[in-house]
Amino acid sequence: MIDIAFITARAGSVGLPGKNIRPLGGRPLIAWTVQAALASGCFRRVVVSTDGADIAAAAQEAGAEVPFMRPAELAQSNTPSVDVLRHAIEATGNPEVFALLQPTSPFRSAQHIRRAAELFEKGSADALVSVSPSKPLSWHFGMSSDGMLRPAQDRTMDTRRQDGVGYFTPNGAIYICRTEAFVERGTLFQPETLGLELGVLDSLDIDELEDFQLAEAIVAQGLRSWTACRGEGPPQV
């Protein structure tokens, strides 16, 4: 069992104000992550770090602990997440291993968390990060100020997307890390980091209004649900 899961939820969201308590499927967004963490049975504690009283109340109602309020200096739009985690680690007695579950990933379920915890605990890596499939590197471009595309690397688009070697990008849904390694290196990405692949819908990260509207449509269509988030019933695909 992992010592603690941190759920970090700042009150002053720029992209979508109030998103962490905005109702999704009739429940505050943060409640989806709190309930997934609790239902997974993987953590001794589920702790929310926030500077917002409304967020704290919603988190506690969903079953999480809010043993401290985040200081204002750690709740700015440019505050590094590393600093937020360092504060939470110190405030909770320096757990040996912690997870970070961001509330903007509502469709990461209890079953996903169990898979992540099992994979981490069976191995010897210092960290685990959930990821999503990505296109081959030859399909990535930058764009100059005049709108011209520039290859991200010195290669042409010489492979079809479906023929490319498997590449992945972090999706922000699940992080697990040994505290000693995190404190030493100041990053959730360690030299030996396991990856857990999640599907496209499970990887949805809510940042802007359009992301939230997409989440609402996914729930309305029954593609993801509150019960599935809590690991009740068969996994959804």
Q: How would you class 171 by CB atoms within 10 Å of its CB: exposed for 0-12, middle for 13-18, buried for 19 or more?
A: buried
Q: Where are the alpha helices (DSSP H) in the chain?
A: 29-40, 53-62, 81-91, 110-122, 179-185, 209-220, 226-229
- Tell me the per-residue pLDDT of 6-29, one tens digit each, with 9 for 90 and over: 999 999 777 788 999 999 999 999
CATH of the domain at 81: 3.90.550.10
40 domain residue, yes or no: yes
Domain that residue 26 falls in: 2-134+168-229
Domain total in the chain: 1
pLDDT at 186: 95
Q: Which sign, positive or negative, has the C-alpha torsion 69, 75, 80, 83?
A: negative
Alpha carbons 168 and 103: distance in angstroms, whole number: 21
204 domain residue, yes or no: yes
pLDDT at 233: 65
142 domain residue, yes or no: no
237 domain residue, yes or no: no
45 domain residue, yes or no: yes
Alpha carbons 20 and 225: distance in angstroms, whole number: 17
- Tell me the per-residue pLDDT of 135-176, one tens digit each, with 9 for 90 and over: 777 788 889 899 988 888 766 555 555 555 578 999 999 999
184 domain residue, yes or no: yes
- Tell me the per-residue pLDDT of 92-113, one tens digit each, with 9 for 90 and over: 999 999 999 999 999 999 999 9
151 domain residue, yes or no: no
24 domain residue, yes or no: yes
Separation of CA 107 from chain center? 10
Contact 55, 17 (CB under 8 A): no
Secondary structure (H, E, C), 96-120: CEEEECCCCCCCCCHHHHHHHHHHH
Examine the pLDDT at 78 and tell me if it is beyond 90. Answer: no
